[in-house]
Chains A and B, each alone.
Chain A
């Protein structure tokens, strides 16, 4: 079947089979390689996307579920000012990653800050547990997300003025 949906702000359509996962069509049909397809059971967080504003692992979402909905992947999120806040904040705090989990950490941080603009260390660690990776330094990630929250709130405050 052919489904239509909004992908990173654009109206798109794609042919899908019943066996296709959302992560499959994002990678194969649209070439969005920032969405990784790793555990294929929703645990590793490497394929996180926003589906109608909600953070979901796209490997356990059937592709046809995307019909008529809005999806934002890391490639789309990278066009936002929030993304710059996060990447710059991570860089300033000296977060070093393995290079495979960056997108999932960014998406998890984005979702956290959307609902909790000033998260506590516990909330940060809880949220980042949805993007597990052996490269994570807990101290650095807490500092980084707090720095991002600070940076983001300053920017939003200036926008509001």
Chain B
């Protein structure tokens, strides 16, 4: 977006709310030079709202503001430096109310979504349990650190308004802009720009900026571009939602998992635009890879007066998977056994009932994954050795402070779990007269490396070279709606649609004259339904399974965790390009490790103190330095003959945090339950050991 330019283009800067909660009395702009103008909610010709998964977010907050930094007005003009000065000298007069920042305990009017499910008879199971283990696991906010900050541009293109932005969901941008401008959807054309690394952070927010750019463009009668600075993006755009997962687990006499009582609270910030989806995914993943016959789970998406929070490398399952895997490791340790053995006894098997009652269709390759991991990492010996050292250690200088952790997870491939509109996946394929094959999908903009997987699948079915397969530019005027493209759906759902469309073309190939066009539409097999404490439906069609081992050492003086090795073993189904898939997993593993060690920040409320803290957080936030990285080994299980392509990009985020926490707990001989772990907490733990 930063390279986008158009003749006569104006830049757009945002006037933001200085308070986290309250009402706006007046906005006092300085004298605006010729060629500059302000844009207020009254200038929005259509609805001042965008809709995401049922939640509504104002394009410009009109009366009420819900977080510090919320857009209340725009200023447009030709010079971004002058705009910066104009925004800095604009005063927003507000009547401030006490912001609501608490979320682990909350009031009923903060609840944006609620999910409850009961399976079996948990009360009876708890009453006869041999042992009960309880703990609360929390995880913090994470910045996406996109390749480029969020932005959008808009301009009239003959009879249409054209919008350019880096988005995972072009049709959502189109529909939102049409709603904001009060025009027909066909009158808006979205031309996605390069996404880069997005980690699911560019799902709905680009639609908000696109609406602002479109409104500014209409108001000024010129092309308009809004591009957040890196600091604005850090402080005001969505981050990973914070979560608190409270687990109470009942075990039978031989340590078998007999019941779970789970309470999940996810802080979705203001408005909660992804609340439904994140909560559904978190609740459905609450038992992790384990079979649990008796379960009570309550999940709440809680709104607070911080910027809207959302997805990060997946849409919610990672919160629960982190909690259950950390807890499994802790329970095994308390029982005096290797976590691998406890997990092996309790893991889901083919036919085991999922939370919705649906039987698991495939055998999870737990044993094979663990066998490979143990061989590669020497896990068994190291775990036993570090346990021995931990038990005998009398102080921090007595022996190396080392630990090793093991975690498993799955990444389901399937539809979104909420919102019918978000599941309208369609892909089109056209075989031209020159035997060139064109694939048309709106998911192409964010597909990155996955495009080669689609091209390879299509080429194999049609029997042409990969070079003959082209992916059309994902302009909404040209391509069908393929839904929101996320890490997992591009590889699984979209790839399957590409295959089906190509198969349909191939069937007609020698009967009909060229060109032949075929469409493939995804139908959700069994949609998830929540009613009266029961949940039904199929959470995923198929899943990729993975295990991770992480070994670390604590510096005896600084207590800085130094990872010594990461081993990942993944059942990814059919892997088209193992080299590239391994490279993608390694970079995700680097990011996941960074979120455990260095990436920490607390979204703030309003006021000068909070602003200073947020600015300080921006300047101190950074990725894990490459030199701090351990060797990362990635191994894939050999696929069966009929194995399909599975999404795997989320798996390092689902496994490594729990493996890290368990390794850290062993090294420090303390049971940690939240990430990231602060140095003060580490010092406290070892100061008393």
Contacts and interface: CB of A to CB of B under 8 A. Distances in A.
Contacts of A126: 625-627
B626 A129 contact: yes
Given A126-B626, A128-B626, A134 B199 contact: yes
A19 B81 contact: yes
Interface string B143-161: 0011111000000000000
A99 B194 CA distance: 8
B196 A99 contact: yes
Nearest to B448: A98
Interface in B564-610: 579-580, 583-584, 586-587, 590-591
A92 to B, nearest CB: 12
A12 interface: no
Main secondary structure of the interface of A (DSSP, over half): loop
Given A94-B580, A99-B194, A138 B619 contact: no
A122 B628 CA distance: 9
B376 to A, nearest CB: 15
Given A38-B148, A101-B147, A134-B591, A139 B586 contact: yes
B632 interface: yes
A137 B591 contact: no
Q: Which of A38, A44, A96, A134 has the most CB of B within 10 A?
A: A134
A134 B623 contact: yes
Nearest to B194: A99
A129 B625 contact: yes
A98 B632 contact: no
Interface string A124-145: 0110110011111111110000
B261 to A, nearest CB: 37
- The size bracket of the interface on B is 20 to 34
Interface string B162-197: 000000000000000000000000000000001011
Given A36-B2, A39-B230, A134 B579 contact: no
Given A37-B2, A41-B619, A44-B230, A96 B147 contact: no
Contacts of B89: none
A118 interface: no
B622 A132 contact: yes
A94 B579 contact: yes
Nearest to B147: A100
Nearest to A140: B583
Given A38-B149, A138-B632, A139-B632, A125 B627 contact: yes
Given A41-B619, A43-B622, A134-B199, A96 B583 contact: yes
Contacts of A99: 147, 194, 196
B129 interface: no
B678 interface: no
Interface in B395-449: 448-449
Interface string B197-239: 1010000000000000000000000000000011100000000
A40 interface: yes
A17 B3 CA distance: 22
A19 B81 CA distance: 8
A125 B632 CA distance: 14
Nearest to B81: A19
Contact of A136 (B149, B231, B580, B626): B626
A3 interface: no
Nearest to A36: B2
B617 interface: no
Interface residues of A, number: 33
B143 to A, nearest CB: 10
B101 interface: no
Contacts of B591: 134
B230 A134 contact: no
Contacts of A101: 147
Nearest to A141: B626
Contacts of B3: 33
Nearest to A100: B147
Interface string A91-128: 00010101111000000000000000000001001101
A94 B449 CA distance: 12
B629 interface: yes
Interface string B8-39: 00000000000000000000000000000000
Contacts of B229: 40
Interface in B605-663: 619, 622-623, 625-627, 629, 631-632
A100 B230 contact: no
Q: Which of B3, B583, B584, B587 has the most CB of A within 10 A?
A: B587
Contacts of B629: 125, 138
Contact of A98 (B149, B197, B580): B197
Interface in B282-337: none
A98 B202 CA distance: 15
Q: Which of A38, A43, A141 has the most CB of B within 10 A?
A: A38
Contact of B623 (A20, A132, A139): A132
Interface in B663-681: none
Interface of B: 2-3, 81, 145-149, 194, 196-197, 199, 229-231, 448-449, 579-580, 583-584, 586-587, 590-591, 619, 622-623, 625-627, 629, 631-632
Closest 6 CB pairs of A and B: A100-B147, A125-B626, A98-B196, A39-B230, A125-B627, A134-B197
29 contacts: A17-B81, A20-B81, A36-B2, A38-B148, A38-B230, A41-B230, A44-B230, A96-B449, A96-B583, A96-B584, A99-B196, A122-B627, A125-B625, A128-B626, A129-B625, A132-B626, A133-B197, A133-B623, A134-B146, A135-B196, A135-B587, A136-B590, A137-B583, A137-B587, A137-B590, A138-B586, A138-B632, A139-B583, A140-B586
